[in-house]
């Protein structure tokens, strides 16, 4: 069973009218209208965020969402494993990972991935798949965070739009606090097949991605989807 993860650097459905990246994610499911579940955990199940998701995806898929605040549904595993795509929203990554663990969502996501369900996400939904990432979960100062570890190495989103991201990520990797990894601009997706990076794709002509290892920052080829 082919496994797919798409880690999106930024510029998602709720902030960007450009749908190229989301179209790319949906195409990996191999269905005309894939069942697509949104996990808005990192923003506390924000109702506005959920509405944005439905408005963006209802014409192209069969959207649903998983709410974990309040009283969550009892059939979480069956519900998630019935999807074709699971899309994780941005927000507070540290809080999201703790809540997932309490409800067993982290282990179900691994099961979904191993069963061929496409996993994707933006910002918090990007770094969560890696061993670690750089996050603003603890306040204004960026910090390292251990994550799910489905993919080797570390990850940094928003590489071009948040001025502190690039120098902080390079410093954390250079010091050994984070393992070497991949960084992506807003509008860029890192597409993994299995645990290997297949390609970087972009909804913007100038979108960039980098491999960061110690003091070295190596640009990666990026395919424009337009």
Place of tokens 């690039």: 166
Q: Are strands 188-193 and 196-202 parallel, antiparallel or unpaired?
A: antiparallel
Length of the chain in residues, anyone? 226
Query: CA separation (Å) from 103 to 16, 66, 70, 76, 99?
Result: 31, 12, 12, 8, 6
Crossing angle of helices 93-103 and 105-114, rounded to 10°: 90
* Residue of 4, 65, 158, 191 with catalytic role: 158
Could you tell me if 53 and 89 are in contact, meaning their C-beta atoms sit under 8 angstroms apart? yes
With b meaning 16 or more CB within 10 Å and e meaning fewer, what string describes 89-118? bbbbbbebbebbeebebbebbeebbeeebb
Q: Which of 123, 126, 202, 203 is catalytic?
A: 123
Question: Is 4 known to be catalytic?
Answer: no
Is there a catalytic annotation at residue 158?
A: yes
Alpha-carbon distances of 204 from 69, 87, 107, 178, 197, rounded to whole Å: 35, 20, 34, 28, 20
CB of 44 closer than 8 Å to CB of 78:
no
CA gap 173, 221 in Å, rounded: 21
Catalytic residue numbers read: 123, 158
């Amino acid at each position: 069973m082919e496994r797919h993860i798409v880690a999106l650097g930024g510029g998602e459905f709720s902030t960007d009218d450009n749908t190229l990246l989301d179209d790319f994610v949906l195409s990996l499911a191999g269905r005309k209208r894939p069942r697509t579940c949104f996990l808005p955990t990192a923003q506390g199940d924000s109702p506005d965020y959920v509405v944005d998701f439905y408005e963006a995806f209802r014409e192209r898929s069969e959207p649903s969402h998983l709410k974990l605040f309040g009283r969550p549904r009892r059939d979480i595993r069956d519900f998630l494993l019935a999807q074709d795509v699971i899309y994780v929203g941005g927000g507070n990554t540290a809080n999201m990972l703790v809540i997932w663990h309490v409800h067993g969502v982290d282990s179900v996501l691994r099961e979904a991935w191993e069963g061929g369900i496409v996993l994707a996400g933006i910002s918090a939904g990007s770094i969560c798949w890696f061993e670690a990432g750089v996050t603003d979960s603890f306040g204004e100062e960026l910090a390292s965070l251990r994550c799910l570890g489905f993919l080797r190495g570390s990850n940094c989103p928003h590489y071009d739009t948040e001025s502190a991201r690039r120098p902080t990520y390079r410093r954390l990797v250079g010091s050994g606090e984070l393992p070497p990894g991949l960084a992506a601009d807003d509008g860029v997706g890192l597409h993994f097949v299995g645990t290997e990076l297949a390609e970087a794709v972009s909804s913007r002509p100038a979108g960039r991605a980098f491999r960061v290892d110690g003091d070295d920052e190596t640009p990666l080829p990026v395919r424009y989807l337009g």
